[in-house]
Amino acid sequence: MPTGQQYALNSDALTKLDGLVSRIESQPGDTIDVEEFRALQEQLDVRSVLGTLPDGLSEDDFVGILKLALLTECATETYGDAFAERADRFNAPWLARFNERVWVPDELTHHAPYKFILMSLGFSEAQLDREIRHTQEIDYTHRGGDTPVHVTTFGIVQEYLTDNWHGLIAAMLRHASPTAAYMATRIKRRETLHTVWYRDMTALQIEADPRLMKFVAEALLKFEMPGNTLAPDLQHSVGRWMPLMGADFERITRDLVRLIHETMTDTRRSGALLVEIAAARGMTLGPVSPAVVRTALDRLGGPGYGLLGEALLERVGLSYILKREHQREDSGFLLYGGVYERVRGLMRSWVARQLDFRLEAS
């Protein structure tokens, strides 16, 4: 098993990653023009939103939600510095180039609409600028691991959750202030692209060395939103705010499982990753400890892990993915045809019912 200090990719993988970053640079999508938002500022009437807030969400809560978006987005360069240092340490010029030329310049535009929206609520530009400067001066601590695959896995989760946050804000704004909703939606769409880019970078690294999935597990387990460092009082309220904002936690879980499964590329690796995470967290896979599961699956080989990966997808409502992967998994069993598939389906459903996803487990 590689260690963080021994992280290295072969030349073929580096070429693929470099090519991916080149394609992103040449086709970055619909980037944000801050001047467009500035021109729309006069059309904002965000005060009208206050009378339409969801039950249980106060005006102070609404301001806090907007400020969390403003302050975490304004500190992009502090994240960028942390990622650049790691790209240099592990000789990942593709990550350094993506960070410097694409991600940081793009993210630097994402706080602008929230500044304009808060000004529409009556906050002075000078006051907001002081809060922005204070946040930018905070030392950001990245706790998600150091290798490039740690960084890109962190990127998948952070960008997806940020995408979801901007979407929830846009939904609250849509009816009473459509211009403000448009601004938030534009930011959301950029975060969607970032999520996909980080997913593809992670997948290429796993393709080159499947043993790196251990680092993916570490990044997932250590994950912490930057707001915990940059705006802790606001970040700590997110758990209360999200249900009031209409967050669909089942969809969020399903989306994150789908994204991570796509980085693993097949159900065998997804199953192995699930065991890694369960073992590290002391979680149970039904009534069985991860150590026992791992011993049994190591004896079964790939098909055993594949079954667990399939059960994971079924457990969160992603069974449709299995249809796409049919004929690619366990080809040595195809001789048995329908009988094997029926038995496998029964086993998969049984395992899915046993999976314990209580992530608060120690």
Percent of the chain that is helix, strand, coil (3-state, to 5): 75, 0, 25
Q: Read off the pLDDT of residues 202-211 as tens digits, 9 standing for 90 and up.
A: 999 999 999 9
CATH (one of 1.10.600.10, 1.10.620.20, 3.30.70.1350, 3.40.366.10) for 4-258: 1.10.620.20
Q: Which of 62-66, 213-217, 247-251, 306-310 has the lowest mean pLDDT?
A: 306-310
> Which of 152, 27, 141 is closest to 78 using CA atoms?
141
Q: Which two tokens stand for residue 117?
A: 């929206």
Q: What pLDDT score was predicted for residue 309?
A: 79
Q: Which of 2-6, 87-91, 142-146 has the lowest mean pLDDT?
A: 2-6
Q: In the chain, where are the structural domains located?
A: 4-258, 266-354
Element (H, E) at 71: helix 59-74
- Long-range contact pairs involving 339-344 (C-beta distance under 8 Å, separation at least 24): 344/307, 344/310
* Residue 222 one-letter amino acid: K
Q: What pLDDT score was predicted for residue 341?
A: 54
DSSP line for 323-348:
HHHTTTS-GGGGGGHHHHHHHHHHHH
| Mean pLDDT, residues 163-174 taken together | 97
Percent of the chain whose predicted confidence (pLDDT) is above 70: 83
